[in-house]
Every structure is written in C-alpha cells, then in structure tokens.
C-alpha cells in the first residue's frame, strides 16, 4: 500500500471556549479519496521545520497538496489586491517550501486548487488575485457542495489528457483566484470556457495540478477517482 502524504490547512477557532486557538485540519473528502484509491493517508502538518519536511518527503510515496485559503501575494512578488482573500503568511511560507521539496523529489503529486497555485508559485509563476475583477463570465466561486459548475477543455499534449483520454470534462468550482503568469516548465493542461487555467502539469515528471476539487467527486465520477488512483499506482 502506497503512503500518500496529504497536506493540511490551519484555522483559528471561534468557539468561545477555544477562541484564538489554532487548529490544523484536512477535509475528510481528501482522506476518503486516497483511501478509495488504495493509498494509506499520511497527514502532514501545515507548518514544519525543514528537517521534518525532508522526513515526510522520504516517508511518502506520493502527495496530495490540498486546497485552502488564498496565498500571501508577497510570495509571488505582488502587493495584496483589494479583493485578495484571507491568508496565513506562516503557513504559506512553510507550504511553499514543502511544495518545492515535493517537486524536487519527483514523486507523484496531485495538487488541488490552492495546491496547484502553490506549484505555480514554486516555479516562479504568479496568481490572478481575484477572477471577478477581470471577468464575470463564469462564477468560479460558485459551489460548496461539489456540484458541476462548468466544463474544461483538455490540451491533447498535456499529462491530464494522457491520463483521462477525453477532450472535455465537467467540473465543480470553488475558487476566486487562479494561475496568472505560468511557472517555469509548466504546461497548461486544461482551460475553462473563459480562458482561466484549470489544470497544469510538469512534463517528464509525475505532477498534475487541477483547480477544481476532484476529491468531492470521486464517488460519482470515475475520471475524478482516476486522478487519485494515478497518485497511488504511479
């Protein structure tokens, strides 16, 4: 059974008895998706020392880099846009460093939503801080339940097409940020009808990034389940 590292996010508790306490968490859907694909989930703290990161890299056979809050714009050389969402700088710095180690390891990695954005930044790219400020053709921040929102067209030269063997997929959507300038060496694997980048890959390396949330769809869409099988079986 392959050991699949799943990153975590951090929230600040608002319950009166725990107000101010920080909590690391991962949505159950990520864990379920890895288990369904036959992998053994290894939960990775969202803030680690460099030595701890290296041990997780050594321990795990593959990785799922999860979604979450926005990413501090200073990490890709920009100041926050007026509609940039909340971010946690300490978490962002740690997870960006971890993402770089994942890429360097050349082990299979599925980067989802914020995870895909971290991959892009790690390779020198930038983000669109607020999609609606540029275009409102599609409401990319539409759905919290995993329902289908729009389609994405796949590039036949991309790693995602080679895996899924389809020209178009129907996806959910829960983001207001997206890849801006593409990171060095990355390939655009899929786009939404409005041109927003929905998937990326790193040629000659087992790394796929998707902007939607396939972990919410693994029980209803075999193509989404296939993404997680790719990580556990690669």
Annotated catalytic residues are 113, 213, 215
SS3 184: coil
What's the CA gap between 28 and 229, in Å, rounded?
A: 17
Nearest to 73 by CA among 36, 117, 26: 117
b/e for 214-227, b at 16 or more Cβ within 10 A? Answer: bbbbbeebebbbbb
Name every residue whose Cβ is closer than 8 Å to that of residue 186 and which is 6 or more positions away in sequence: 119, 120, 123, 125, 200, 201, 202
What's the CA gap between 95 and 221, in Å, rounded?
A: 29
Q: For residue 35, give both structure tokens.
A: 């288990």
Name every residue whose Cβ is closer than 8 Å to that of residue 162 and which is 6 or more positions away in sequence: none
What's the CA gap between 95 and 65, in Å, rounded?
A: 9
């Amino acid at each position: 059974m392959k050991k699949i590292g799943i990153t975590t996010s951090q929230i600040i508790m608002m319950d009166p008895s725990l107000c101010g306490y920080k909590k690391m968490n991962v949505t159950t859907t990520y864990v379920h998706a890895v288990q369904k694909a036959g992998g053994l989930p290894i939960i990775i703290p969202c803030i680690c020392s460099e030595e701890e990161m290296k041990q997780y890299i050594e321990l795990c056979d593959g990785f799922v880099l999860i979604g979450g809050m926005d990413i501090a714009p200073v990490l890709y050389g920009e100041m926050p846009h007026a509609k940039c969402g909340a971010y946690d700088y300490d978490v962002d710095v740690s997870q960006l460093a971890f993402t770089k180690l994942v890429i360097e390891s050349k082990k299979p990695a599925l980067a989802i939503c914020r995870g895909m954005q971290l991959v892009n930044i790690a390779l020198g790219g930038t983000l669109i801080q607020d999609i609606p400020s540029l275009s409102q053709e599609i409401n990319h921040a539409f759905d919290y339940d995993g329902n289908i929102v729009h389609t994405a067209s796949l590039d036949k030269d991309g790693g995602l097409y080679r895996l899924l063997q389809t020209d178009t997929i129907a996806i959910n959507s829960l983001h207001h940020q997206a890849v801006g300038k593409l990171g060095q060496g990355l390939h655009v694997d899929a786009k939404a009808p409005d041109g927003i980048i929905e998937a990326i890959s790193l040629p000659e390396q087992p790394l796929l990034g998707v902007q939607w949330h396939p972990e919410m769809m693994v029980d209803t869409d075999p193509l989404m389940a296939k993404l997680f099988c790719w990580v556990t079986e690669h």
